[in-house]
Each structure stands twice: as structure tokens, then as C-alpha cells.
């Protein structure tokens, strides 16, 4: 249910609701903290502020109209799946051709 809650929070935050923006930051805090643990100790505070700022900018710039409907979502997944399958086929074919060329070199 967090997806629905996040959607509502983003709508409110984009409309200027500061409490909604604080809640979004609270929701992403574990991810920010995890990223900060990878930084050196003296850079963590700066990184935490930087990432929080990026989240705020992303929320403000997010286009709520770009969310696909169910049919568009299924089409997107299907086309991405087909591209993945095709790219895998191309790689397999390329490997087979290279193997054949190696076998023919005597």
C-alpha cells in the first residue's frame, strides 16, 4: 500500500504541502542512510544533505501525468521483455559465429 501512499504524498508535496515532503524524506531515509554508510565518515553529512536535496528536486519536478495506465504498463513490460530476449539472441548468435570462425581457422 506504500505505492498508493507515496503517490498521494507526492501529489501533496508538489502542491506545496511541507508535511508531505517531510514524510517522503522520512520514507527514503533508510536508503539515504545506506548510501551514506559507503562514504567516508567526514563526507556523510554532506552526502546526506545532497541526497535529500535530490529527492526534493525529483519530487517537485516529477510529472504526475507520465504515469502509465495498466495497458501502457503491460505494453512497456512486453516490449522491454522482447528487447531483452532479442538482445540475448543476438549475443548468442554472435558467440556462435565467433566460435564457428575459430573452428574454421586451421
pLDDT at 84 over 80: no
Q: Report the distance separating Cα 60 and Cα 95, nearest Å.
A: 46
Per-residue model confidence (pLDDT) at position 1 = 42
Pick 4 or 52 by higher pLDDT.
Answer: 52
Q: Please report, for the chain, the start and end positions of each structural domain, with discontinuous segments joined by +.
A: 1-67, 68-106
Q: Report the distance separating Cα 56 and Cα 66, nearest Å.
A: 18
pLDDT, average across residues 74-93: 53
- Mind listing the pLDDT tens digit for each residue in 11-30? 999 999 999 999 999 999 99
Per-residue model confidence (pLDDT) at position 86 = 43
- What b-and-e string marks burial along 42-57, b requiring 16 or more CB atoms within 10 Å of the CB? eeeeebbeebeeebee
Per-residue model confidence (pLDDT) at position 4 = 56
pTM of the model: 0.60
Amino acid at each position: 500500500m506504500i505505492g498508493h501512499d507515496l503517490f498521494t504524498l507526492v501529489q501533496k508535496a508538489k502542491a506545496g504541502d511541507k508535511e508531505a515532503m517531510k514524510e517522503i524524506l522520512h520514507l527514503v531515509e533508510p536508503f539515504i542512510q545506506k548510501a551514506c554508510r559507503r562514504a567516508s565518515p567526514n563526507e556523510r553529512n554532506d552526502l546526506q544533505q545532497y541526497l535529500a536535496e535530490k529527492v526534493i528536486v525529483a519530487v517537485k519536478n516529477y510529472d504526475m501525468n507520465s504515469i502509465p495506465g495498466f495497458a501502457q504498463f503491460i505494453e512497456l513490460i512486453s516490449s522491454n521483455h522482447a528487447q531483452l530476449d532479442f538482445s540475448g539472441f543476438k549475443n548468442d548468435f554472435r558467440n556462435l559465429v565467433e566460435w564457428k570462425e575459430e573452428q574454421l581457422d586451421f
